[in-house]
Structure 1
């Protein structure tokens, strides 16, 4: 892990490229997204696992919290789905605000390269890369349309999630694999996620390790399991305040 006294903007990049444009973290020894199809995995695990887009029908501000911004793939696919849902429901008002916690934020060119394999999110990818700042430290907030806001908190989630001033309606738990990066799945961090979840709010994750499930349950979530994406045995999802 990077020295906590060194700004994230100047930390050494752990990013490598494999199989052309497949980003890989040498820091954690893991790919940034599912090698089968990261965009489809986002839809299956994070959107469907949190009951989205159906829950957007309530209107108002909908907040998503995310552990691990990575390439921005989850954000871009969620924004695409939000845009399609709003077009199909022009009478429904609402605002999507996604806040992601990321230790090693990529550069704009790296985000652009990593997401270029999916033409379905070209519009979102280009907008994100165009607005992404050169200095990536502290807190980045981007108003990408009149109804979509992205905030990326650059630093250690273990410190930044407990200090977050909001509660999420849904969480995307997308840190590197628990075996590679156990700190992102610790009981203390899962407790902070629970504490910053609205009543009736939800989480979803591709992870199904026993200690992750136990930590989520110990934090207070009602945890469920279902088959994972692309043949993976299981994934986890659940709610706060639902038994």
Structure 2
């Protein structure tokens, strides 16, 4: 199996849009603020990092790495932070140039982004990359195949960040979400920008209790949850 970079269109100069999925990688209203609102606040982070020896986050859709780097930035603000393992699945990894251009929109993350870019050489299967003391376990390939072949600590928080469910239903399928639930710690949580009814039902069927909360930048609703 070989890796295939995404075909991108750049909106507003620096917002990448995946032509194959007709969707952007982050909000044109502000990618950094979106990640903080949806994934960090939605999983009650960085508060939950404090007082823990280790913490595991898993994510469907590595994309630009914005969620990973924003999490690392939040970890810097925690006294005696947990050792972070960040597990992410990506079918179409960006090239170094694409990643650099996308992350260039976030000068606040420049130092962390440069560290990631220096180590960026993803191969099919599981890759281990260390950035700012955290371990990124990056799975390149089909998420359903990769999730059946992963050995990780119980997941404390999920970032469900695939492209729009209507454009990329595979990442929101019942079987994949059940597999995610099986990897989740007893008190594990999830957050996602979508509130589509069929996604909520699939999450509930997988074993999560969910609720709708206010979304980002005028989006009425998003979903958070915890393992039932």
Give the TM-score normalised by structure 1.
Answer: 0.90
The residue correspondences of 1:22-171 to structure 2 (distance < 5 A) are 22-85=15-78, 89=79, 92=80, 94-133=82-121, 135-145=122-132, 147-166=133-152, 167-171=154-158
8 A contact 1:8–1:104 mirrored in 2:
no
Flag structure 1 segments of 5+ consecutive residues without an equivalent. 1-6
Q: Which runs of 5+ in 2 are unaligned?
A: none
1:93 is displaced (CA, Å) by 5.1
Deviation, 1:83, is 1.4
Aligned-pair CA distance for 1:151: 1.3
Q: Distance between the aligned counterparts of 1:103 and 1:232, measured in 2? A: 27
Q: 2:205 aligns with which of 205, 213, 218?
A: 218
1:230 maps to which of 189, 201, 217:
217
Give the aligned length: 227
CA distance in 1, matches of 2:148, 2:199: 18
Q: Quick check: which one's helix share is greater?
A: 1
Please, what TM-score do these two structures have when normalized by structure 2?
A: 0.95
Runs of 4+ in 1 over 6 A off after TM superposition: none
- Secondary structure of residue in 2 paired with 1:127: helix
Could you say if the C-alpha distance between residues 186 and 28 of structure 1 is closer, same or farther in structure 2, counting changes exceeding 3 Å?
same
Match of 2:201, SS state, is: helix
Mapped contact 1:69–1:100 kept (Cα < 8 A)? yes
C-alpha contact 2:125 2:146 (8 A) present in aligned 1: no
SS at match of 1:215: helix
What is the alpha-carbon distance in structure 2 between the residues aligned to residue 142 and residue 182 of structure 1?
28
CA offset at residue 14 of structure 1? 2.4
Shift of the alpha carbon at 1:163? Answer: 2.6
Over the aligned positions, Cα root-mean-square deviation in angstroms equals: 1.3
Is the CA contact (8 Å cut-off) linking 2:17 and 2:23 kept in structure 1? yes
Change in 2 beyond 3 A, CA 1:28/1:93:
closer
